[in-house]
Every structure is written in structure tokens, then in C-alpha cells.
Amino acid sequence: MTALLLLAAGLTGVLEGWARYRPRRTQPALLWGGGALATVLVALLGLGPADLSVPALLPGLLTPVLWLAWGRAWGGGRGPLARVVALAAALALSLVPLLAAGAPEPTAGEQVLAVLGTGLLMGGPSNDAVAALLTLVREGAAGAEGASGALLRGGRWIGALERMLVLVLAFSDVPAAVGAVVAAKGVIRFPEISRDAGEGTNGGAKAEEFLIGSFSSWLLAAGVYLLLRALGVG
């Protein structure tokens, strides 16, 4: 069940992000069509490789509908964050039976689906969560008019690749390499942060945003690492 939750949320989040950049008039059809496609794929993979019973499929089948309905009903910065918190709570609850004494080990099919779902979630959906957090920080610091700055596409790619790299290094049992990635990011951004602090116009806002965005991104990667370990991956 945990693997299907990951896969369903990852598929729906990626399809939602793709539909966001299509013409506005086609977005509703693309969103709900993508949700239906995600539901069908989850059902096929759950009954096939994961070999789950129909009751165990239900949380995964409901996830695309709840994910999209939440996004449509609750926009703004708080919506994506609350959705991530709700998903984390659902994943934690789904792990309870696995952690019980005498519980069967996750099958190889479930582990593959969990890794696939994780890969999808570490891209666009995680970027949306980090961006929403930074939006709330900007709103709290400068009012709503200061929260309209768009993220560069390059930053979105860097964030997704960074989380995937941290996960790969963590599963490779080379914690020193994870520390090197963290240090390298700080070195690369240090001139920009120092210039911002020196100008004194933003009060070090870029440094604060860098730290908040980086720590939230690393926290997501660490949480996914612990989740996959609990499923027996690696």
C-alpha cells in the first residue's frame, strides 16, 4: 500500500505540473484526464507487479482524485505544503503494519514501485512544495506583493537533481559525499549571498531563502531515504 501511495502521488504530481504549462482552457480536461490515467496505471501495477488485494489498492486509487481536488480547492502557498503534510501522514500510517512484529517483507514489485514513485515525487512535486514554502516566507517578510517572483527553470532542475543525488549517495553508504554536495552548494552560492548581505537592501533575504530552500529540500530527501529503507530498499 505504501508503494502505491508513493506511485499515485508521484504520477499525479508530475501530470499536474505538465498540465500547468498547457493553455488555460485545456487545463481542467488535462488535469482530470491525467488523474484518470494515473488511477488506471496504479490499478494495473498494484494488481500486477505488487500483487495486492483490491482493499489494499483503495488508498492508491483515491490518491489522484484527492490530490487534484485539493489542488483545485486550496490554491496559494499553503495548499501544496498542506498536501505534502497529508501525504507524509498517510505514508506514515501505511508503514505501521509493515513495522509490526511478524509482518511480511515488501515484495520486489512493491519496492520497484516505491522507487519509481519516489523518483517522480523528487522532481516537480517536491519543487512545488519548496517553492510554496518560500512563497510563504516572502509573504511573511514583505507582504503579498513581494511574493510574486517566479522561480527560474534552472533552479527547478537543480533542486530535483540535488535531491536525487543526495538519495543516491545515501544509498551508496558514502555520507562524506553527501556532506561534500552540501558544502559545494554553499560555496557556489556564497558570492551571491555575500553581495546581498553587503548591499544591505534586503537584509540578507537571499541568504535566508537559500537556507530555507536548501534545508527543506534536504529534509525531503532524508525523509524519502528513511521511507525506502523501511520498505527494505537498498
Burial of residue 44, with CB atoms counted within 10 A of its CB: 0-12 exposed, 13-18 middle, 19 or more buried: exposed
Lowest-pLDDT range of 20-29, 81-90, 143-152: 143-152
Tell me the pLDDT band of 141, cut-offs 50, 70 and 90.
Answer: low
Interatomic CA distance for residues 32 and 15, integer angstroms: 10
Nearest to 104 by CA among 63, 55, 50, 60: 50
Report the predicted TM-score, pTM, of the whole model to 2 decimal places. 0.64
Q: Are 73 and 58 in contact (CB under 8 A)?
A: no
Mean pLDDT of 210-231: 81
Interatomic CA distance for residues 210 and 130, integer angstroms: 11
Domain ranges of the chain: 1-107, 122-234
pLDDT at 144 (0 to 100): 41
| DSSP-assigned letter for residue 24 | G
Most confident of 103-117, 143-157, 188-202: 103-117
Alpha helices (runs of H) in 74-204, residue ranges in sequence order: 78-99, 108-121, 124-142, 153-171, 175-199
